[in-house]
Structure 1
Amino acid sequence: MESHDLRIFKHVAQLQSMSKTAEKLGYVQPNISQRLKGLEVELGVKLFIRNNRGVTLTNEGKILLNYVNQMTVLMEEAKAAINPHKWREPLTIGASQTISAVKIPQLVSAFLKTNHTVDVKIRTSEKLKLLEMLSYGELDGLFINGEYNHSQFEAVYSYFENITLISLTHDQLKKQHEQTLLVNSDPSCVYRNTLFDFWRKRNDKEPAIIEFDSLEAILQAVSEGLGISLMPADVAQNRKENTIHFQELKEKIKIEFVIKQRKQQRHSLKKFIHFLQS
């Protein structure tokens, strides 16, 4: 197996598309297909299931991807160990937009003060996509709330987050049952679902809702008086100067840092876990 072919294989596995891989790597698609075909012939197994929407990994493909990810980790660590002035240790962390708004930057900032050789990247997306990225090795770890596959992932750190209702005026908070709920469009968003639970405990009818794709859009909508929303208390506190009113709730949200259950972990991830746990 050639490292070049394995690099192409990893990109196709992550993007689930030969055409997108060709575009990203600057190749023509037949070249990508030929390389993968040669790899499948060499190994004697099918690595991908091809369909109209792209490709998905076979069980054998998933096994190979796990080994490729381990080899990638070792090569990156070797470069960083040999020449730390040129190569930094990569660490890619995932989180939803709302979870990553305040707490995660604070943690990363504190971590980097004593770990200058680590190159941290934050990836934000929907929960299911983030779990898929963690599974495929695109993420080293993920800050998450709620259910996940405990046979595939494990939590190594957790914290509890205070949450608060926010509105433009105090009167809106007093008359919550009359307000439109401003929520993230991601159905798995913990703040969206917590707000719905809060509403249903106090009201019989279904609420009017407006969905947004970003935290900043929700905050702007609250500032325009379109309705009420629910945020981490830290986010609301940072917006106090914008005259947004808030009401902290008794409920707390548990956030866990989850990693893939595997033997091979890059040194930067071990450092970050040690930082979190200490």
Structure 2
Amino acid sequence: MDLTQLEMFNAVAESGSITAAAKQVHRVPSNLTTRIQKLEEELGVTLFIRENQRLRLSPAGHSFLSYSQRITGLVEEARRVVAGDEPEGLFALGSLESTAAVRLPPLLAQFKQRYARIQFNLVTGPSGTMIDAVLDGALSAAFVDGPLLHPQLDGVPVFDEQMMIVAPADHAPITRAREVDGEQVYAFRANCSYRRHFESWFHDDGARPGRIHEMESYHGMLACVIAGAGLALMPRAMLESMPASDRVSAWPMPDRWERLTTWLIWRRGALTPTLDAFTALLTEMKSQRL
């Protein structure tokens, strides 16, 4: 069974005539007759009741028609989605949690308003997980921490983040890693780029973090810091978006550690109309902020 057979079957079912259906699908009648007979043999049922020069669907044919029409309809929709000019269909997007919480709500709202036929599937996680999902084809694109180094990926820088060291409210000012040598840290899993950045800052100054507690959210990290249990690292925009941010002290990371750039990435050669429209809106909204 193949798509051509299904299209021929649908045409015969709708017209009730091999001759009329042959004109519709631009084939000779004998070809349709052969392909329909082969389809019946494959299914092991009679799809048409043959009466003189007319064909009408058998009970099995009626049942099969609904499936055949759905299959060909989905194939046509898929063709429009991947090749059409108007963005539509499913858009699987990955993101860092902080980006999803602070940066994306107005962007996604604007994109959905502009392209109502888009269906979003938003997944959050650390950069390493998002990169793997893009490479595997599970995500159309993802927001991750840069720089972009993988040879199979393309992307654009989109957000500049100021990274803040978050400490209990009564903590002394933090200007270098040796001042907090051995203090406990709250961070995401090991494949989180922000966690690697924080650890590198310690090691570059000849210091080491104490025990690293793996958390699932920034709100959990902040609660632990408020309780006086250790330090965390997060973007300023994320910290300021949380109601309890006034209950901690925070200092920008010094010098070259202070800024990180968030990139939107996708597989090289996989720039679909939907993704193209999404990047265009990103550029438009970024220029409006300048």
Is TM more than 0.5 here?
Answer: yes
Percent sequence identity is 17
> One-letter code of the match for 1:246?
A
Hey, what does 1:227 align to over in structure 2?
Answer: 230
Q: Measure, in 2, the Cα distance between the counterparts of 1:191 and 1:239.
A: 18
Larger helix fraction of residues: 2
- Asked if structure 1 preserves the Cα contact closer than 8 Å seen for 2:126 and 2:191, the reply is yes
Hey, what does 2:38 align to over in structure 1?
Answer: none
Q: Measure, in 1, the Cα distance between the counterparts of 2:101 and 2:128.
A: 19
Radius of gyration: which is bigger?
Answer: 2
Secondary structure of the corresponding residue to residue 151 of structure 1: coil
Q: Measure, in 2, the Cα distance between the counterparts of 1:182 and 1:170.
A: 18
Structure 1: where are the runs of 5+ without partners?
4-71
Matches within 5 A, 1:1-278: 75-76=77-78, 78=80, 89-146=89-146, 150-171=150-171, 173-174=173-174, 176-177=180-181, 179-185=183-189, 187-239=190-242, 241-242=244-245, 243-250=247-254, 251-262=258-269, 265-278=271-284
- Asked if structure 2 preserves the Cα contact closer than 8 Å seen for 1:165 and 1:173, the reply is no
CA shift for structure 1 position 109:
3.1
TM-score by length of 1: 0.61
Q: Deviations over 1:165-191 (max 9, x none)?
A: 112314254563463111112x22122
Secondary structure of the corresponding residue to residue 114 of structure 2: coil
Hey, what does 2:53 align to over in structure 1?
Answer: none
* Gap change, CA 1:80 and 1:129, over 3 Å in 2: closer
> One-letter code of the match for 1:109?
A
Q: Measure, in 2, the Cα distance between the counterparts of 1:108 and 1:258.
A: 16
Q: Measure, in 2, the Cα distance between the counterparts of 1:74 and 1:159.
A: 37
CA shift for structure 1 position 95:
1.8
Hey, what does 2:27 align to over in structure 1?
Answer: none
> One-letter code of the match for 2:252?
E
TM-score by length of 2: 0.59
> One-letter code of the match for 1:268?
T
Alignment RMSD, CA only? 3.4
Q: Where in structure 1 do 4 or more consecutive aligned residues deviate above 6 Å? A: 79-82
Secondary structure of the corresponding residue to residue 186 of structure 2: strand
- Asked if structure 1 preserves the Cα contact closer than 8 Å seen for 2:168 and 2:226, the reply is yes
> One-letter code of the match for 1:244?
V
Q: Deviations over 1:216-260 (max 9, x none)?
A: 321221222211101011111123545222222351001111111
Q: Measure, in 2, the Cα distance between the counterparts of 1:75 and 1:105.
A: 28
CA shift for structure 1 position 74:
6.7
Structure 2: where are the runs of 5+ without partners?
4-73, 285-290
* Gap change, CA 1:76 and 1:235, over 3 Å in 2: same
